[in-house]
């Protein structure tokens, strides 16, 4: 029976498995199957799926893997995700992966794509660039060419063409995936005690390693269980967690914030799962539909370039209002330049609208959560005492 507990236990096992047994099992189930990994933040997984391959999200190695080899390739004063990802590769944990996409989120990931090419010459490696301009004839044309090149590369790797019909079928599945995740986020916003964020994180994260068909079923099962099994309501402060967007926080950090008296009612974990805000249309040219969706219907976040200075950070104010949040906790990876450079601008926007906020940094393997719990607890208490007259 799919109780909340059994589902979360399954997701937890997937989360902790750094050998990626579920993805290996998918590959071994039929001869000739291939796996294409990708890093945060966004790649069009539909294209990988339409080529008959498994998209595998690699979000670093978390808390449990000691990084030894990875440190030899990078200086110590950068974030941990490239080092731990390299550790996964060098220790053979990704030896079943035939392709690897590195999205253009920062120079660190750009460098990692180069290192991967040198280190694993048999793997199809692509640095996947996305537009910083949302005009159809400029950024749109550029992105269309980028997708066409990616499509060709994936077809070559898969040994088959990606037909429009196959791409439409994949878009249908990922549209459903995005809807199901949006439904769970909406449920958490409405009744956060029913959907603890530490559970929601694991359930969504399972989609990084499972085929989308299985993940869709898992999301439906969890939603049903979360509605069914009542959990007690606590007197907590509602907060938005912001600043993550690439290297993920340890699960213990999410739990620490919750235990300190906060309901997380919105977050930017695993942005790929909520990047596109609407269903990608199925009629017409499906490749162009992916271009248009990225250009015109993608979520405003720290990871997306905002050309208009006055709109910078407005999405965060909107998220606070839309979720009836009472404050914002900035939690960003240590040494993450994009997140840390963004934060002063976001804080200014929040200050202008009198939204209280605090911030701290983490690494994916941060172990000591007592300071986080103390800060988040004090923040939650101060909201209760002074923000709600
Ligand atoms: S955590 Fe930040 S600095 Fe590190 S790879 Fe991601 S975006 Fe780049």
Domains of the chain, start order: 21-163 (3.40.50.11890), 234-268+303-389 (3.40.50.11900)
Residue nearest to atom 6 of ligand 1 (CA): 246
Could you tell me if 332 and 304 are in contact, meaning their C-beta atoms sit under 8 angstroms apart?
no
Residue nearest to atom 3 of ligand 1 (CA): 336
Gap from CA of 112 to ligand 1 centroid (Å): 11
Gap from CA of 142 to ligand 1 centroid (Å): 24
Atom in ligand 1 nearest the alpha carbon of residue 339:
2
Whole-number Cα distances in Å, 291 to 24, 140, 149, 235: 31, 6, 13, 44
Atom in ligand 1 nearest the alpha carbon of residue 107:
8
Residue pLDDT tens, the chain, 389 long: 789 999 999 999 999 999 999 999 999 999 999 999 999 899 999 999 999 999 999 999 998 899 988 888 888 889 999 999 999 999 999 999 999 999 999 999 999 999 999 999 999 999 999 998 899 999 999 999 999 999 999 999 999 999 999 999 999 999 999 999 999 999 999 999 999 999 999 999 999 999 999 999 999 999 999 999 999 999 999 999 999 889 999 999 999 999 999 999 999 999 999 999 999 999 999 999 999 999 999 998 888 888 888 888 999 999 999 999 999 999 999 999 989 999 999 999 999 999 999 999 999 998 889 999 999 999 999 998 887 65
Strand partners of residue 126: 101
Is the Cβ atom of 338 under 6 angstroms away from ligand 1? yes
Is the Cβ atom of 59 under 6 angstroms away from ligand 1? no
Give the pair of three-digit tokens for residue 376.
């988040």
> What pTM was estimated for this model as a whole?
0.96
**Rg of the chain on CA atoms, in Å:** 20
- Cβ neighbours of residue 63 closer than 8 Å, sequence gap 6 or more: 250, 251, 252, 364, 365, 366, 367
Mutation probe of ligand 1 site: the residue of 57, 62, 73, 109 with most atoms within 8 A of C-beta: 109
Is the Cβ atom of 337 under 6 angstroms away from ligand 1? yes
Local structure of residue 379 (DSSP, 8 states): H
Gap from CA of 93 to ligand 1 centroid (Å): 22
Gap from CA of 110 to ligand 1 centroid (Å): 10
């Amino acid at each position: 029976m799919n109780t909340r507990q059994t589902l979360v236990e399954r997701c937890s096992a997937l989360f902790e498995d750094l050998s990626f047994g579920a993805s290996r099992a998918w590959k071994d189930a039929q001869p000739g199957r291939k796996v294409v990994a990708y890093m945060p933040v966004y790649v069009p997984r539909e294209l990988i799926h339409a080529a008959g391959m498994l998209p595998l999200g690699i979000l670093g190695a978390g808390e449990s893997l000691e990084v030894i080899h990875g440190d030899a390739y990078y200086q110590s004063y950068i974030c941990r995700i490239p080092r731990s990802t390299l550790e996964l590769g060098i220790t053979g944990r990704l030896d079943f992966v035939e392709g690897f996409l590195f999205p253009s989120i920062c120079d660190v990931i750009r460098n990692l794509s180069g290192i991967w090419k040198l280190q694993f010459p048999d793997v199809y490696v692509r640095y996947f660039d996305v537009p910083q301009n949302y005009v159809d004839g400029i950024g749109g044309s550029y992105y269309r060419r980028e997708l066409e090149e990616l499509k060709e590369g994936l077809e070559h790797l898969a040994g088959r063409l990606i037909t429009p019909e196959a791409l439409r079928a994949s878009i249908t599945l990922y549209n459903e995936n995005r809807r199901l995740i949006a439904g769970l986020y909406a449920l958490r916003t409405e009744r956060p005690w029913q959907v603890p964020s530490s559970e929601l994180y694991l359930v969504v994260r399972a989609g990084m390693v499972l085929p989308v068909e299985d993940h869709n079923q898992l999301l439906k099962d969890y939603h049903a269980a979360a509605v069914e099994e009542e959990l007690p309501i606590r007197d907590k402060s509602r907060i938005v967690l912001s600043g993550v967007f690439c290297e993920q926080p340890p699960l213990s950090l999410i739990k620490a914030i919750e235990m300190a008296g906060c309901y997380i009612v919105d977050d930017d974990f695993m942005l790929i799962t909520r990047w596109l805000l609407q269903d990608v249309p199925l009629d017409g040219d499906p490749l162009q539909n992916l271009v248009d969706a990225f250009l015109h219907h993608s979520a405003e976040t720290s990871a997306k370039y905002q050309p208009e200075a006055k709109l910078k950070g407005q999405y965060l104010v909107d998220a606070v209002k839309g979720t009836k949040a009472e404050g914002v906790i900035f939690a960003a990876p240590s040494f993450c330049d994009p997140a840390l450079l963004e934060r002063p601008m976001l804080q200014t926007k929040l200050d202008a609208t009198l939204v209280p906020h605090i911030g701290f940094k983490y690494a994916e393997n941060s172990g000591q959560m007592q300071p986080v719990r103390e800060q988040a607890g004090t923040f939650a208490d101060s909201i209760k005492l002074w923000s709600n007259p």
